Amino acid sequence: MKKLLTGFAGATVIMAALGVGIAKADDIVVGFATASSGFMQAYDKPAQDAAMIRIDEINKAGGLLGKQIKTVAADTKTDRAEGAKAGLEVIDKGASLVVVSCDYDFGAPAALAAEAAGKVSFFLCAESIKAGIQGVGPHSFSASVLAAVQGATMAEWSYNKKKARTFYRLLDTWTEYNKGICDGFDWMLPKLKDAKLLGQDTFKNEDTSIAAQITRIKSLPQQPDAIMLCSMMPGVVSAVKQIRAAGIKSMILNGSGVSGGYWLNATPDLSDFYVPDQGSVYGDDPNSAVNDFNKKYKAATGGEPSSQYVYPGYVMIDVWAKAVERAKSTDADAVVKELEKMKDEKTLFGPRTFTSTLHHQNRGRYLITEVKNGKPGVVDEWTISEAIPVEYLMKK
């Protein structure tokens, strides 16, 4: 018992020593309450690296409001309770921007802590409408585009450019993100004349076999033109592999969750497979500045961006810094006000709009990547004809 308490006291002394703020008064502090270990690490780290690149650029160009941007970090361990601690920790260290985990579920605890402290929080790449005002509060934003936009984009694009008329909807019920893709698809489909849903089914990401679901598709009297596959890593690879193995040839539409070519060696002959991307990681982006960024990213981290989810990190610092410049202050309310004035604000990876009711993108330009014989390449670009209404998204 005695030993225990001594050990405990020792630990707290160490904690206290570290807990003391380390930032200088004339620095602007950006706090990363993200995962540097556990499941989310693989998603948070790349986006965080991209954010660091933008911070570096800003610092090299003379800083923000004449001050240098300093960063502090705390590990969420991909755990919600730890996430709240990490949020509190970076706030303690003086962060005026709290960057939280890529996923809404894992980022929310830290974002809520920031909200309570009156700080601006940014989700690295969360794509749920809750990542913002609706799920955290008026000081919270997301740097990415809503998942629903991805589903809607795929439906409208395939209808217009690929003459897809019959669809099948296959939803992996694992995450809100997956459901979001299908929500956008559901919203768009009735707007497309003559487009028909032949059927729908669900599976679980961890299902080792989706044979029963595939059998259901194959027993349809008519095979669909396109399958809207609302899923994500890792289950989606297995699903795609099994769909093609069963001889189903319909084109497969996806969310950005399958962006990046790193997993395609599982399905070397994959074709008729379409993915919405905010920017191309394949080196063929129509905007050469994106290709330049990819080189910069490689120089900084040693590897090419693995998927489009690297990019929102860069966008995040970009728009936030612009807002700070315009507000001439890091004060949360002033920055939020400036952010909300942004309408189709140009960024390297598509325009960004924030309003007083939505701190997320309910419409956005997407590159369309086609996988052909196992090789991905950008083939088109699409922006949905109208923004998805916030009310629709909230009802979901």
Partner 1 sequence: MTALLQILFDALSLGSLYALAAIGIALIFGVMRLVNFAHGDYISFCVFALLWPSIEATAFVFAGQLPPYLLIPVILTVGACLSMLSEILVFRRFRNANPATMMIASFALGFVIKYTLLMLFSSRPKSIDLWPSLSLPVEIFDARIPLLQVITIVITIVILIALVAFLKRTRFGLEMRAAAENFTMARMLGVRANAVILLAFAISGMLAASIGLILVTQTGTVDIQMGSSVMLVAFIATVIGGLGSLPGAVVAGFLIGGVSVLMQVILPFDIRPFRDAFVYGAVIAVLIWRPNGLFMPRSAKQRV
Partner 2 sequence: MTHRPSIFLRSLSTPLILILVLVAFLALATFMNSGPFNQVVIDGLVKVTLVVGLYVFIGNSGVLSFGHIGFTCLGAYATAWLTIPPLMKKMALPGLPEFILEAKLPYGLGIGFGALFAGAFALVVGKILMRLSGIAASIATFAMLAVINTVYSNWERVTGATSSVVGIPIVRVVWPYCLAAVVSIVIAHLYAISRSGLALRAARDEAIAASASGVDIGRERLIAFVISAVITGMGGALSAHSVGVVTPDTFYLNLTFICLSMLVVGGMNSLSGAVMGVVVLSVIIQVLRQFEKGVSLGGTVVSIPNGLQEIAIGIVMVVILIARPTGLTRNQEIVWQGWPFKRVSAATEP
Asked if residue 220 lies in contact with residue 198, where contact means CB atoms within 8 angstroms, the answer is: yes
| Closest to partner 1 by CB, 29 or 371 | 371
What is the total count of residues that contact partner 1 (CB under 8 A)?
48
Residue spans of alpha helices (H) in 71-198: 80-92, 104-116, 147-161, 176-188
Residues 219-248 binding partner 1 (CB under 8 A) are 219, 233-235, 237-238, 241-242, 244-247
Binding partner 2 by CB under 8 A: which of 96, 101, 121, 175?
175
271 binds partner 1 (CB under 8 A): no
34 binds partner 1 (CB under 8 A): no
From 64, 68, 71, select the one nearest 31 (Cα to Cα).
Answer: 71
From 115, 110, 86, 94, select the one nearest 22 (Cα to Cα).
Answer: 94
CA neighbours closer than 13 Å in the CB half-sphere of residue 361? 33
Asked if residue 154 lies in contact with residue 213, where contact means CB atoms within 8 angstroms, the answer is: no
212 binds partner 1 (CB under 8 A): yes
The CB-of-194 to partner 1 minimum distance in angstroms stands at: 23
Query: Which of partner 1, partner 2, none lies near 266, with the C-beta cut-off 5 to 8 A by kind?
Result: partner 1
The CB-of-80 to partner 2 minimum distance in angstroms stands at: 5
39 binds partner 1 (CB under 8 A): yes
Binding map of partner 1 across residues 168-187, x = CB under 8 A, - = no contact: -----x--------------
User: What six digits make up the tokens of 288?
Assistant: 């050469």
How many CB atoms lie under 10 A from the CB of residue 355? 15
Q: Is 344 left (phi over 0), alpha (psi -120 to 50) or beta?
A: left
The CB-of-105 to partner 2 minimum distance in angstroms stands at: 5
301 binds partner 2 (CB under 8 A): no
Asked if residue 231 lies in contact with residue 257, where contact means CB atoms within 8 angstroms, the answer is: yes
190 binds partner 1 (CB under 8 A): no
| Closest to partner 2 by CB, 234 or 377 | 234
Query: Which of partner 2, partner 1, none lies near 292, with the C-beta cut-off 5 to 8 A by kind?
Result: none
From 68, 61, 74, 83, select the one nearest 29 (Cα to Cα).
Answer: 68
Q: Tell me if residue 53 falls in helix, strand or coil.
A: helix
The torsion angle over the Cα atoms of residues 101, 105, 108 and 109, rounded to 10 degrees, is -100
How far is Cα 334 from Cα 182, in angstroms, rounded to an integer? 36
Inter-CA distances, 105 with 45, 99, 229, 394, Å: 17, 14, 22, 16
| Closest to partner 1 by CB, 59 or 205 | 205
Binding partner 1 by CB under 8 A: which of 67, 85, 191, 216?
216
The CB-of-295 to partner 2 minimum distance in angstroms stands at: 28
Residues 73-132 binding partner 2 (CB under 8 A) are 74-75, 80-81, 83-86, 88-89, 91-92, 104-105, 108-109, 112-113, 116, 128, 130
72 binds partner 2 (CB under 8 A): no
Residue spans of alpha helices (H) in 255-351: 288-301, 311-327, 332-340
From 255, 184, 172, select the one nearest 213 (Cα to Cα).
Answer: 172
Query: Which of partner 1, partner 2, none lies near 68, with the C-beta cut-off 5 to 8 A by kind?
Result: none
The residues that touch partner 1, with contacts defined as CB under 8 A, are: 37-43, 78, 173, 200-202, 204, 206-209, 211-213, 215-216, 218-219, 233-235, 237-238, 241-242, 244-247, 260-269, 303, 306-307
The residues that touch partner 2, with contacts defined as CB under 8 A, are: 1-2, 4-5, 7-8, 10-12, 14-19, 36-38, 41, 74-75, 80-81, 83-86, 88-89, 91-92, 104-105, 108-109, 112-113, 116, 128, 130, 134-136, 173-176, 179, 394-395
